[in-house]
Amino acid sequence: MPTQNNQQEKELPQVLILRTTFVFQLYEKEFHKKFKVLKAWESPLPIESFIESEAQNVEAIFCSGLTPITKDIISQLPLLKIVVTESTGLEHIDMGECKRKGIAVTYAGSVYAEDVADMAIGLVIDVLRKISMADRFIRNGLWPSGVQFPMGSKVGGKRVGIVGLGNIGLMIARRLEGFGCTISYNSRKKKGSTPYKFYTDVVEMASDNDVLIVCCSLTEQTRHIINNEVLRALGKDGVLINVGRGAIINEDDLVECLIEGEIAGVGLDVFEHEPNVPKQLFTMENVVMTPHRAAFTKEGFFDVFQLVMGNLEAFFSDKPLLTPVPVPIANE
């Protein structure tokens, strides 16, 4: 005879998770209170077999940016109606197939924007003022030795070009205004409501600025948009920061320009082939790196958890979704 708990579980709406996510790890108990979670990664079966045996009636998938939601996955779920991702980026989801099949997609929207903007500013300050380099200088016992630590560069008054003036880009710009920086930007189209100078060409913008900050989406149009020509236009005193996606920068060109001294320094939170990082960067004092953690704060993940739960509850209650992805997708 089924227990009351089993009966309640059967009545809960089903959510398929192919691979665990950061939000799910933090708030798993809360998920189980409201949904019957199908955890594919815990099954000994291959994903395809698990879906065939356990998930044919699933209407909702929850995922992170590390879980590809491909055309093949979608085709195996005939009742799928919504994909909820905890990420801001959407490159892991086959948006064309979702649109073709009328599958809704929700994302993190602007929830991570403040945290990513803070990290971008932190990287700018670190690279220009050589904070990480100074920390290593002391830890390695060089201060008492009489070795002179090199001077950094002032943050205030710098000319900063932002690649992608979406939610994150705007928050970066507003923070930089507090330093007295001059802001310009390159984006998919001109933003009529902003006071910043607009560039249609990234090379031209790089040549006119001291710092270039990348925070746009990764698309076929933006892949490797930061290349040898852009880096050399930025110049020997220029600094590059990336809090967008690794593949927006051509890493081979970046390594080459750093080795040749064609740019002054870089701050990177993302890399083209994560978690693999070009080994040449490890010994470069003018390179500051963080392991794709710009959005990782306790407060930010709690906000995303609430957003994910809100979107799932809205879907199963037939209410308006909180953060549906607009179609066509606006890539900043």
Q: What pLDDT was estimated at residue 5?
A: 52
Q: Which amino acid is at 67?
A: T
pTM above 0.75, yes or no: yes
Residue 105 covered by a domain: yes
Burial of 90 (0-12, 13-18, 19+ CB in 10 A): buried
Residue 37 backbone phi and psi in degrees, to 5: -90, 125
**Cα(241)–Cα(231) distance, integer angstroms:** 12
Contact status, residue 184 vs residue 160, Cβ threshold 8 Å: yes
Residue 188 covered by a domain: yes
- Domains held by the chain: number: 2
Residue 92 is among the residues annotated as catalytic for this protein: no
* Residues 104 and 119 reside in one and the same domain: no
* Residues 307 and 233 reside in one and the same domain: no
Residue 151 covered by a domain: yes
Contact status, residue 307 vs residue 323, Cβ threshold 8 Å: yes
Residue 331 covered by a domain: no
Residue 324 covered by a domain: no
Contact status, residue 19 vs residue 40, Cβ threshold 8 Å: yes
* Residues 95 and 197 reside in one and the same domain: no
* Residues 18 and 36 reside in one and the same domain: yes
* Residues 104 and 218 reside in one and the same domain: no
247: CATH: 3.40.50.720
**Cα(104)–Cα(250) distance, integer angstroms:** 33
Q: Which residues pair with 104 in a beta bridge?
A: 82
Contact status, residue 234 vs residue 240, Cβ threshold 8 Å: yes
* Residues 120 and 226 reside in one and the same domain: yes
* Residues 117 and 104 reside in one and the same domain: no
* Residues 63 and 180 reside in one and the same domain: no
* Residues 190 and 247 reside in one and the same domain: yes
Catalytic residue among 232, 245, 272, 332: 245
Residue 256 is among the residues annotated as catalytic for this protein: no
Q: What pLDDT was estimated at residue 170?
A: 97
Residue 245 is among the residues annotated as catalytic for this protein: yes
Residue 326 covered by a domain: no
Q: Is the bond into 275 cis (omega within 30 degrees of 0)?
A: yes
Catalytic residue among 30, 204, 292, 313: 292
Instruction: Give the structural domain span for 224.
Output: 113-289
* Residues 130 and 89 reside in one and the same domain: no
Q: What pLDDT was estimated at residue 6?
A: 52
Catalytic residue among 52, 260, 274, 299: 274
* Residues 100 and 122 reside in one and the same domain: no
**Cα(216)–Cα(213) distance, integer angstroms:** 9
Residue 321 covered by a domain: no
Q: What pLDDT was estimated at residue 1?
A: 45
**Cα(174)–Cα(115) distance, integer angstroms:** 14
Select from 83, 136, 80, 125 the least CA-distant residue to 108: 83
**Cα(305)–Cα(23) distance, integer angstroms:** 6
* Residues 127 and 41 reside in one and the same domain: no
With vertex at residue 207, the alpha carbon angle to CA 206 and CA 211, rounded to the nearest 5 degrees, is 50
Give me the average pLDDT of each 10-residue run along the chain (332 residues).
50 96 97 97 95 94 96 96 95 95 96 97 98 97 95 97 96 98 96 94 98 94 97 98 97 98 98 96 98 96 98 98 75 40
Q: What pLDDT was estimated at residue 182?
A: 98
Residue 332 covered by a domain: no
